[in-house]
Structures are given as C-alpha cells and as structure tokens.
C-alpha cells in the first residue's frame, strides 16, 4: 500500500528518484540538459527549486512546495523527462524504478546541510563533478555560473551568510571537520517516509501591494498592524511578525528591502524570520492554519 505524501504550503522537501533496475539515465550532457530543461518548467506547477545534483542513475532535488502541490509537479517532471529521453535515444518503457521519494525538511540546519550533501554526491562517487553546472547547482551558489531563473539561491545563501560562508561549510564538511545535524541520516534517505497529508487549496501565487498584504496577515491572525510590525522579543517572540516576513517575501513578490523597512528591521533579520517560519510549518498547526488561510485570499488589486 502506498503511503500518503506529506505536503503543505511552504513545505521543503528532499526529492530523489533512481533509474529503473538502477540503470543509468543521465548518460551524457544532453540527457542532463533535458532534465534541467524540464526543471525550468516546474515553477508553473507551484514549486521552487533550491538545489540539485544529478548522478548517473539517480537525482537529488531541494524543492519548496509553494502551494502544497508537490505531487503534481513531480508527475510532470517524471513523465516529461521520460518522454523526451525515450524519444531522443529510442528507448522504450519506464525510466524510473517507481514514484519519487521525498523527505520533509523540518529545520534550517538540515536544509543548509542538505544542499552541501547533494552537491558533494558526485565527489563521494568518484565522479569529480561538483563544479560542473550540468551535474549540480554548486556553481550557481559560488558565482562561477549564471544562475538560471528557476533556481532560487537567496534563502540558502542567507543561511550560510555569503558565498564565502557556503564554501567554508562545504570545505569543512568535505574534511569531516563539522558535525552533521543530528536528524540527518544519509542511510535512511531512500526509506519510505510519510506522516500523513495536509490539504491546501490549488492556487496560483498572486502579487500584492505591501499594505494589502499586511492587512491580510492581520485578518488571519487577529493582530492589528502595530502588533504585527512589533519586533519579536522574549522566548515566544512574535509569530505574526515572522509570518508577515514569510508571506510578504515568499508569496507576495515583495523584496526583502521593502519588507525590512515595513517591519522596522534589517535585511538579514527578514531572512531569519522567514527561516523560522519554514522551520515550524511542519510541526506548528497554528502556523499551518494561518498560512493556509492566507493562500486562500486574493489581492484587492495586483501591483503594476
């Protein structure tokens, strides 16, 4: 019996799949280029790609499910890549051994480590392709290749601080000089992993004016604007403030500079508040309820 997928608006996933009978599917640069071309189509299915690594017979993706529609996006990826590759090489039959595997990422420490883990996959396999743009997204993170429009690097880059911080973390992990997150177990990545499903509406991502977006946060949290923009203090902080940063950035198309000015904080603090929401969405039913209500709203009018 298939286990249900765990997915919800804002969920972050480690997604992977293997070739049928463990046979190679990324046999050359053309095959890898085709796969990346299909990845470029996934934003229209409501996901963001934060990183990738392609191995000869499997792939790894860091995926954010913007509107809780990961299965729909992954069906397109599997079907379209298979169709194009079968046509190119005149192959027949399924490319993959079955449906994709996904593991929910519950905290930023795991998310940060996961990117380096997948980028180092070719090195661990002796392929020596960590710097090859067609094998991993490593080059886009270090500025040695142009970042494709569909690859989102801002969130993870903020967790490292800058490109230098990413490279230092990469180096230390490669040397075995840093501990990995306690909940990261590479031996369990391919094991079945699901704890249920969270339903959210099938919605496109609207554009909001900043003032209307803050009013939306006020309406779902029951907090007035002054309470929302109050800087979080104490152990409990201000979840409505964190939610506002996440909502304005991830779902309203508002840049971090404008959010920082609206919330009376710094650009870096906006990133930290977004990460705090991402960390808690998987386990905090209150935040999940707020996020789902926000996604059900429509802007009064879109920004020009």
Q: Render pLDDT for 78-136 as a digit per residue (tens, 0 to 9).
A: 999 999 999 999 998 889 988 899 998 988 889 999 999 999 998 888 876 656 667 89
Cα distances (angstroms) measured from residue 237 to each of 100, 227, 230, 234, 243: 38, 12, 10, 5, 12
Distance CA 106, CA 115 (A): 14
Quote the pLDDT of residue 194: 45
pLDDT value for 123: 84
CA–CA separation, 42 vs 56, rounded Å? Answer: 22
252-to-124, 231, 245, 289 alpha-carbon distances in Å: 39, 21, 10, 18
> What's residue 299's pLDDT?
66
Q: Which residues of the chain have pLDDT under 70?
A: 1-5, 128-133, 192-207, 232, 234-235, 251, 253, 282, 298-304
Helix (H, G, I), strand (E, B) or coil at 14: strand
Nearest in space to 77 (alpha carbons), one of 91, 56, 95, 64: 95
Q: Find, among 299, 218, 289, 298, the residue nearest to 8 by Cα.
A: 289
pLDDT of residue 149: 94
- Separation of alpha carbons 37 and 274, rounded Å: 29
Given the structure tokens 């046509």, which residue do they identify?
Answer: 87
- Domains, the chain, in order of start with CATH, read 11-188 (3.30.70.1290), 210-295 (1.10.1750.10)
Q: What is the pLDDT of residue 153?
A: 93
User: Where do runs of H (alpha helix) occur along 40-180?
Assistant: 70-89, 108-119, 121-124, 138-142, 154-160, 163-174
Residues facing residue 47 across a β-bridge: 65
For 139-159, the pLDDT digits (tens) are 999 999 999 999 999 889 888
Task: Give the angle subtended at the CA of 157 by the CAs of 77 and 115, to the nearest 5°.
Answer: 50
User: Residue 55 in 3-state DSSP?
Assistant: strand
Q: How far is CA 203 from the centre of its chain?
A: 18
Q: What is the rounded distance in angstroms from the CA atom of residue 93 to the CA atom of residue 78?
A: 13
Placement of tokens 């990346």 in the chain: 36
């Amino acid at each position: 019996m298939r286990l249900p997928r765990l997915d919800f608006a804002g969920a972050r996933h480690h997604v992977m799949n293997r070739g049928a009978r463990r046979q190679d599917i990324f046999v050359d640069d053309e095959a890898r280029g085709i796969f990346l071309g299909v990845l470029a189509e996934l934003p229209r299915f409501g996901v963001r790609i934060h990183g990738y690594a392609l191995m000869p017979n499997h792939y790894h993706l860091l995926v954010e499910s913007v509107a809780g529609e990961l299965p729909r996006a992954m069906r397109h990826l599997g079907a379209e890549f298979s169709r194009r590759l079968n046509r190119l090489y005149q192959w027949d039959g399924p490319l993959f051994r079955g449906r994709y595997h996904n593991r929910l990422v519950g905290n930023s420490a795991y998310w940060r480590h996961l990117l380096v883990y997948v980028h180092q996959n070719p090195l661990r396999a002796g392929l020596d392709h960590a710097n090859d743009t067609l094998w991993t997204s490593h080059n886009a993170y270090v500025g040695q290749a142009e970042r494709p429009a569909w690859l989102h690097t801002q969130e993870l880059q903020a967790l490292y601080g800058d490109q230098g911080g990413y490279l230092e973390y990469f180096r230390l992990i490669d040397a075995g000089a840093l501990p990995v997150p306690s909940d990261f177990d590479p031996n369990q990545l391919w094991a079945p992993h699901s704890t249920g499903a969270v339903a959210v509406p099938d919605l496109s991502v609207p554009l909001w004016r900043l003032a209307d977006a803050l009013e939306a946060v006020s309406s779902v949290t029951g907090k007035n604007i002054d309470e929302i923009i109050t800087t979080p203090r104490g152990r409990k902080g201000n979840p409505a403030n964190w939610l506002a940063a996440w909502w304005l950035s991830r779902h309203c198309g508002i840049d971090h500079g404008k959010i920082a000015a609206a919330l009376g904080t710094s650009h870096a603090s906006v990133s930290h508040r977004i990460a705090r929401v991402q960390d808690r969405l998987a386990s905090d039913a209150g935040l999940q309820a707020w996020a789902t209500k926000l996604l059900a709203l429509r802007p009064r009018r879109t920004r020009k």
